[in-house]
């Protein structure tokens, strides 16, 4: 019998997928499978996870973005186009929105939604990895990512890329589920996340596992102060965050200098 302790696992070769440790190279594929599964019910997913409040958060996120007419905006993890639609009216006919997502199914859902609503001009659709953006330096006035950063394997690389493609003075905005601040609410939130949400996912989307992962991914995402520090390390200036709904989610902002 070998009583020697097992060698420590090389953390540089693994990352988290929910509460599981998986090889770094596998996470993108696993996350892709989740979002391919839920793409057709993405809005339902967010309704179940946020009790419908995500629609208010998104409107506030865009309304406070300081975006102007004529601006060029990159909306990463653009999904079904909620943020892009809200931004479109604000940038006007002279502005443009690039809706980017790493998942082709999500991108198709967003494009089809825009087309069905007659929203065609001013939109571009690009399948992109946020860690390696295919855009020149200083291409955008604003970069947004809503409920997507927590699913990125290398968040530091994605933040550096967001900074790179911004024009000087341009703003990056991150809307993401975060760490609840009220102690009394944490047990309620945990019960909803880990007991209620997977059941609702099974009932309404026939997919409990994906919803279980999504709840776990929120807990593994860096809390507010840590994410602010990551943005500063990525080169952003004037970084700050605002909690929404007692920290269920937060808006982080930073500027290119």
Binding site, annotated residues for S-adenosyl-L-methionine: 80, 101, 129-130
The answer to whether 74 and 143 are in contact (CB under 8 A) is yes
DSSP 138-179: T-EEEEEEES-GGG-S-HHHHHHHHHHHEEEEEEEEEEEE--
Q: Of 51, 45, 96, which Cα lies nearest the Cα of 75?
A: 96
Which residues are annotated as part of the binding site? Answer: 80, 101, 129-130
225-243 burial by CB neighbour count: b if 16+ within 10 A, else e? eebbebbeebbbeebebee
Longest pairwise C-alpha distance within the chain: 73
Contacts of 250 (CB under 8 A, 6+ apart): 175, 176, 178, 224, 227, 241, 242, 243, 244
Continuous H helices in 39-165: 42-50, 54-63, 82-91, 104-116, 155-165
d(CA 247, CA 224): 9
Q: Output the CA–CA distances (angstroms, integers) from residue 168 to 40, 236, 252, in the order listed.
A: 37, 10, 18
């Amino acid at each position: 019998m070998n009583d020697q302790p097992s060698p420590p696992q090389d953390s540089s070769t693994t990352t988290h997928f929910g509460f599981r440790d998986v090889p770094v190279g596998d996470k993108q594929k696993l996350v892709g499978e989740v979002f391919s599964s839920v793409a057709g019910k993405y809005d339902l997913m967010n309704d179940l996870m946020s009790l419908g409040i995500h629609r208010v958060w998104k409107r506030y996120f865009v309304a406070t973005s300081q975006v102007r007419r004529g601006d060029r905006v990159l909306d990463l993890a653009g999904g079904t186009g909620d943020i892009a639609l809200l931004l479109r009216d604000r940038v006007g006919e002279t502005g443009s929105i690039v809706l980017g997502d790493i998942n082709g199914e999500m991108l198709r859902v967003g494009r089809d939604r825009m087309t069905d609503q007659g929203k065609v001009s001013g939109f571009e659709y690009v399948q992109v990895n946020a860690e390696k953006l295919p855009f020149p330096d200083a291409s955008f006035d604003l970069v947004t990512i809503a409920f997507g950063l927590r699913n990125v394997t290398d968040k530091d690389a994605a933040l550096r890329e967001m900074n790179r493609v911004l024009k000087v003075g341009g703003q990056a905005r991150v809307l993401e589920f975060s760490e609840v601040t009220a102690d009394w609410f944490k047990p309620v939130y945990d019960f909803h996340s880990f007991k209620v949400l997977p059941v609702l996912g099974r009932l309404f989307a026939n997919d409990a596992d994906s919803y279980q992962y999504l709840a776990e991914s929120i807990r593994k995402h860096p809390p507010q102060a840590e994410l602010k520090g990551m943005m500063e390390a990525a080169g952003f200036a004037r970084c700050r965050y605002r909690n929404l709904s007692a920290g269920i989610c937060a808006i982080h902002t930073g500027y290119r200098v």
